């Protein structure tokens, strides 16, 4: 395989893996901040225990998110140096601001939060977790500002063969960013929320610490339903922006080769043949694509073949059609997972509203347990659709993926790094799942004895050596 393909595999795999943890961090930070706020306001120790228990999971997850994030910053230079040379002027700025404004905030205040329970006042401690939550969100904003530039480049001019920034304000008010940021951050809140409801449901089913987990469930369910619905609304806005700025991605995500007709129907299922450039056996909902694209029940959507001809006129000969099947199915997986989240969230609301949480259905609680997987599935599918759908471009209309790769690295080097990173990531993933299960099994009231200090003879006899 060549360096482009290997670098793409590395970027995709490390980014997808990294993005299992980021939304959990963003979501859990918010929930923990809410729980600790309730503790500070009500003085109920159970809420403190909640912040600490979910905090334990948060920290394990945060550690993996942070360390896999370092690679993200470095591999633009390592694997995509020609890309970095071309857009560094514009793209580098939000990354640098992210480090300066968000990473420092998160890392410093997470330190205060972990080690400061008895060293700072309750209020300062509470402020720390809110600042961590704010920092993770800020971090998302800047990284999405950078990503939005790749989807829809604004605020720059081409000088001396490279993109140079000429309007920073345009970069941070990019229309793409304004729809992508709420969609992504709300999805992250939903991810944290469904993790908490899922684990709580499991513990309620097991009848362990029921009061504790019922409270956790309720807080998270409220955050979960609000953010799930918010994701859908923001997603709708994003689809409309897509039709305007990246119509090819939209057409590919619909498997639409020719014109859609007016009003345009939405394809639920289709047999797509990229070789013959046609889709067969489609099952369609009338009017829906028009609504998705324009918020009204009329309007035509352009197909891939027409756009291909337009792009050849604009950018020269080449294949401008992204991997259609991947784009098509990832979009549907995302929508399906998102819909299920809303359904589960609504039912949880119904139970809480009718005060039926005392005797919830076992089958429903089992669904909630499996519901943990829905947000990560939707998140991953969403990113796959966004990034695959942009191919062959790294920066839409400006630079192709093939031209972005580092010319001075060999495929052997990249193969080596792909294998090493995949291996270490696989180990991290397994260890993390194991530790999660261990913490969950122990529950909130038996947390702190992991070290087993009593096995250390030094502790019993020689402890005054140090004092």
Partner 1 sequence: MLSLNELWFVLIAVLFIGFFFLEGFDFGVGMETQFLAKNDTERRVLINSIGPFWDANEVWLLTGAGAMFAAFPEWYATLFSGFYIPFVFALLALIARGVAFEFRGKRDSVAWKRTWDACIFIGSFLPPFLLAVVFASFIKGLPIDADKQMYAGFTDIVNVYTVVAGLTVVLLCLVHGLMFTTLRTVGDLQARARKMAQRLLWPLAALLLAFVVMTYYMTDIFEQRGTVLMIIVALGIIAFVLSGYFMTKKKDGYAFGMTGAVMALSVTSIFVGLFPRVMISSIDQAFNLTITNAASGHYSLKVMTIVALTILPFVLGYQIWSYFVFHKRVHEKEHLEY
Subset of residues 131 to 160 that bind partner 1, contact rule: CB under 8 A: 159
Report in angstroms how near the CB of residue 61 gets to partner 1 at its nearest.
Answer: 10
107 lies in the site for partner 1, by CB under 8 A? yes
Of the candidates 430, 232, 225, 438, the one whose C-alpha atom is nearest the C-alpha of residue 343 is 225
Note whether 455 binds partner 1 by CB under 8 A.
yes
Q: Would you tell me how many other CB atoms lie within 10 Å of the CB of residue 67?
A: 14
- Pick out residues in 43-102 that bind partner 1 (CB under 8 A): 59-60, 63-64, 66-68, 70-71, 73-74, 76-79, 81-82, 84-85, 87-93, 95-101
Among 109, 189, 257, 266, binds partner 1 (CB under 8 A): 109
Residue (of 31, 34, 35, 58) closest to 47 by Cα position: 35
Among 22, 35, 50, 110, binds partner 1 (CB under 8 A): 110
- Chain centre to alpha carbon of residue 135: 16
For partner 1, which is the closer residue by CB, 120 or 342? 120
Burial of 300 (0-12, 13-18, 19+ CB in 10 A): middle
**Is 90:146 a contact under the CB 8 Å cutoff?**
no
Q: How far is the CB of 217 from partner 1 (least distance, A)?
A: 25
Least distance between partner 1 and beta carbon 369 (Å): 23
Paired residues of 280 in beta bridges: 271
Query: Smallest distance from the beta carbon of 421 to partner 1, in angstroms?
Result: 8
- In whole angstroms, the minimum distance from the beta carbon of 98 to partner 1 comes to 7
Residue 34: HSE in the Cβ half-sphere, 13 Å Cα cutoff: 18
Rule CB under 8 A: is residue 413 a binding residue for partner 1? yes
Compute the least distance from the CB of residue 467 to partner 1, in Å.
6
- Work out the burial of residue 408: count CB atoms within 10 Å of its CB; fewer than 13 is exposed, 13-18 middle, 19 or more buried: exposed
User: At closest approach, how far in Å is the CB of 122 from partner 1?
Assistant: 14
Report if residue 114 touches partner 1, rule: CB under 8 A. Answer: yes
Q: Which is nearer to partner 1, 374 or 439 (CB)?
A: 439
Contacts (CB under 8 A) with partner 1, residues 417-446: 417, 420-421, 424, 428, 431, 435, 438-439
Hey, what are 422's tokens?
């995949």
Distance in angstroms (rounded) separating the CA atoms of residues 191 and 24: 6
Considering only residues 155-214, where is the footprint of partner 1 by CB under 8 A?
159, 162, 164-166, 168
The answer to whether 314 and 291 have CB atoms below 8 angstroms apart is no
Stretch that binds partner 1, among 196-204, 293-301, 373-381, 416-424 (CB under 8 A): 416-424
What is the rounded CA–CA span in Å between residue 376 and residue 197?
14
């Amino acid at each position: 395989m060549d360096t482009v393909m290997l670098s793409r595999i590395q970027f995709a795999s490390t980014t997808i893996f990294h993005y299992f943890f980021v939304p959990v961090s963003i979501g859990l930070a918010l929930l923990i901040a809410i729980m600790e706020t309730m503790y500070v306001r009500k003085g109920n120790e159970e809420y403190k225990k909640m912040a600490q228990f979910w905090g334990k999971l948060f920290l394990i997850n945060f550690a993996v998110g942070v360390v896999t994030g370092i690679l993200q910053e470095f591999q633009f230079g390592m694997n995509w140096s020609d890309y970095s040379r071309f857009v560094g002027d514009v793209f580098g700025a939000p990354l640098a601001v992210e480090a300066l404004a968000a990473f420092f905030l998160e890392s410093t205040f997470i330190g205060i939060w972990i080690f400061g329970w008895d060293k700072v006042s309750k209020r300062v401690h509470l402020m720390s977790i809110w600042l961590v939550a704010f920092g993770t969100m800020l971090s998302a904003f800047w990284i999405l500002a950078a990503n939005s530039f790749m989807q829809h480049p604004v605020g720059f001019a081409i000088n001396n063969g490279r993109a140079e920034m000429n309007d920073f304000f345009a970069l941070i008010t990019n229309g793409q960013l304004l729809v992508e940021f709420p969609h992504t951050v709300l999805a992250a809140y939903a991810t944290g929320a469904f993790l908490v409801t899922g684990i709580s449901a499991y513990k309620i089913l097991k009848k362990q610490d029921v009061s504790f987990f019922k409270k956790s469930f309720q807080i998270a369910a409220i955050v979960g339903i609000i953010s799930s619905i918010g994701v859908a609304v923001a997603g709708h806005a994003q689809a409309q922006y897509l039709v305007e700025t990246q119509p090819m991605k939209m057409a590919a995500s619909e498997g639409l080769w020719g014109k859609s007709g007016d009003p345009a129907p939405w394809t639920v299922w289709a047999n797509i043949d990229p070789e013959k450039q046609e889709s067969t056996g489609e099952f369609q909902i009338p009017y829906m694509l028009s609504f998705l694209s324009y918020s009204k029940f009329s309007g035509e959507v352009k197909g891939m073949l027409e756009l291909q001809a337009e792009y050849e006129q604009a950018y020269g000969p080449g294949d401008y059609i992204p991997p259609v099947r991947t784009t098509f199915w990832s979009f549907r997986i995302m929508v399906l997972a998102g819909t299920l989240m809303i359904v589960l969230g609504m039912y949880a609301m119904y139970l809480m509203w009718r005060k039926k949480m005392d005797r919830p259905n076992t089958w429903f609680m089992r669904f909630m347990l499996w519901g943990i997987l829905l947000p990560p599935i939707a998140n991953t599918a969403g990113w796959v659709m966004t990034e695959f759908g942009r191919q062959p471009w790294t920066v839409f209309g400006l630079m192709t993926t093939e031209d972005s790769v580092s010319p001075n690295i060999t495929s052997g080097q990249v193969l080596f790094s792909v294998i090493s990173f995949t291996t270490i990531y696989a180990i991290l993933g397994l260890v993390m799942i194991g530790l999660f299960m261990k913490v969950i099994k122990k529950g909130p009231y038996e947390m702190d004895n992991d070290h087993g200090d009593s096995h250390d003879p030094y502790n019993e006899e020689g402890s005054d050596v140090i004092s």
